[in-house]
């Protein structure tokens, strides 16, 4: 009888398995890419944090698996052509940054339009993302212009300063000095006598070494890994502030096909990406500062009174930017006001209220 019961039980289990629907796992092919190489933290953590977190979240149910193609340092998309690559279906996942895509992602350059802000990169990012997400129409306009969905994962770079071949402590020292920088930050030099030259970390070292320009506008955790202290040893602390540079984006065409579970996995990964980025950036800062000094670099403090004079005399950097953004149909002024007010609520007030002018 025991054998009869056992065989009957086995048969019942077999029948149940046979009648159950087969488990089907969806596989999605996605390409993630960036124009910058992995030496930059925002690229490093796409590979090391964002993608592994997406995979780990999806593995909890096993319903969806992503087959990733990754390419960084210009192997798939060149710096400045990210929007076109998204729109043409060349890439599906990447960072949305307005610095090198001002025509379509210019709204994300809002902190560059309000220089001499706080040095706290986490605080700046939190204030920006709150402004973007709570200002009606902000992210919608960005999506319409680019075909990319902003999913969070915002980051900012540490306090911008100037590296140069000679020490800069006052405005007069800057007269005739040529400085490389990305488009949005060259406007900060207006009225100082310095000459801004379009450039990026891809070319800064060689351009300074060969005399194309005399230094660069940049930040510690990028300048030191790039060894710019070898060619521009003076780290002049003008304290332009931390600058938000963007967040993670997914092609809208792909995003609209994702299940709610998949979307949630991507948003969770974006949050993890931000945290990992800032944790490492902050850990690197003091070490980078030591490396700069040990490598022959010098920390130069720009005179605070001269800095105040600079701020007061700077042609309003917000007005032209806001006008251009409003012409594109973006609620730029409301976003800027929200950003300023968010910082004030957190304890920081700009020395000059650009928006009140």
State how far the Cα of 127 lies from the Cα of 125, in Å rounded to an integer: 5
pLDDT band at 186 (very low <50, low <70, confident <90, very high): very high
> Exposure string (b/e) for 104-131, b if CB count within 10 Å is 16 or more?
bbbbbbbbbbbbbbbbbbbbbbbbbbbb
pTM, to two decimals: 0.88
Q: pLDDT of 12-36, one tens digit each? A: 444 444 444 456 899 999 999 999 8
At 23 the pLDDT is 60
Q: pLDDT of 90-114, one tens digit each? A: 999 999 998 888 889 999 999 999 9
Higher per-residue confidence, 144 vs 4: 144
Task: Give domain status of residue 141, yes or no.
Answer: yes
Task: Give domain status of residue 280, yes or no.
Answer: yes
pLDDT band at 46 (very low <50, low <70, confident <90, very high): very high
Task: Give domain status of residue 267, yes or no.
Answer: yes
Residues 6+ apart with CB under 8 A from 315: 187, 190, 191
Q: Calculate mean pLDDT across residues 203-211.
A: 97
Residue numbers of the domain that contains 223: 160-242+288-346
> Exposure string (b/e) for 278-289, b if CB count within 10 Å is 16 or more?
bebbeebbeebb
- Give the pair of three-digit tokens for residue 345: 């609520």
Same domain? 147 vs 236 = no
Q: What is the CATH number of the domain that holds 327?
A: 3.40.190.170
Same domain? 202 vs 54 = no
Q: pLDDT of 189-198, one tens digit each? A: 999 999 999 9
Task: Give domain status of residue 189, yes or no.
Answer: yes
**For all residues of the chain together, what is the average pLDDT?**
92
The DSSP-derived string for 187-232 is GGGTTSS-EEEE--TTTHHHHHHTTS-SEEEEEHHHHTTTTGGGT-
Q: pLDDT of 269-311, one tens digit each? A: 999 999 999 999 999 999 999 999 999 999 999 999 999 999 9
Same domain? 172 vs 48 = no
């Amino acid at each position: 009888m025991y054998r009869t019961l056992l065989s009957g039980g086995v048969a019942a289990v077999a029948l149940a398995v046979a009648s159950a629907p087969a488990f089907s796992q969806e596989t999605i092919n996605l390409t993630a890419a960036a124009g910058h190489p992995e030496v930059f933290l925002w690229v490093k953590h796409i590979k090391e944090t964002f993608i592994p977190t997406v995979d780990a979240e999806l593995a909890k149910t096993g319903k969806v698996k992503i087959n990733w193609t990754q390419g960084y340092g210009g192997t798939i998309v060149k710096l400045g052509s990210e929007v076109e690559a998204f729109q043409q279906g060349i890439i599906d996942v990447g960072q949305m940054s307005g610095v090198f895509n001002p025509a379509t992602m210019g709204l994300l350059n809002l902190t560059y339009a309000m220089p001499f802000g706080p040095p706290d990169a986490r605080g700046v990012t939190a204030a920006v993302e709150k402004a973007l997400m709570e200002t009606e129409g902000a992210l919608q306009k960005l999506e319409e212009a680019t075909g990319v969905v902003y999913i969070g994962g915002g980051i900012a770079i540490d306090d911008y300063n100037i590296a140069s071949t000679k020490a800069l402590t006052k405005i007069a020292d800057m007269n005739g000095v040529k400085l490389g920088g990305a488009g949005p930050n060259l406007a900060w030099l207006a009225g100082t006598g310095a000459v801004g030259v379009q450039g990026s970390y891809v070319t800064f070292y060689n351009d300074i070494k060969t005399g194309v320009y005399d230094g660069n506008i940049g930040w510690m955790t990028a300048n030191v890994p790039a060894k710019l202290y070898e060619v521009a040893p003076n780290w002049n602390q003008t304290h332009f502030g931390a600058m938000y540079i963007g967040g993670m984006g997914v092609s809208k065409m792909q995003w609209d096909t994702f299940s709610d579970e998949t979307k949630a996995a991507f948003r969770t990964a974006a949050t993890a990406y931000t945290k990992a980025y800032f944790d490492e950036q902050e850990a690197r800062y003091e070490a980078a500062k030591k490396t700069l000094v040990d490598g022959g670099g010098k920390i130069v403090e720009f005179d605070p009174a001269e800095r105040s004079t600079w701020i007061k005399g700077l042609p309003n950097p917000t007005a032209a930017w806001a006008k251009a953004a409003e012409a594109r149909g973006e609620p730029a002024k409301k976003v800027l006001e929200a950003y300023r007010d968010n910082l004030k609520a957190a304890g920081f007030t700009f020395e000059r209220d650009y928006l009140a002018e």
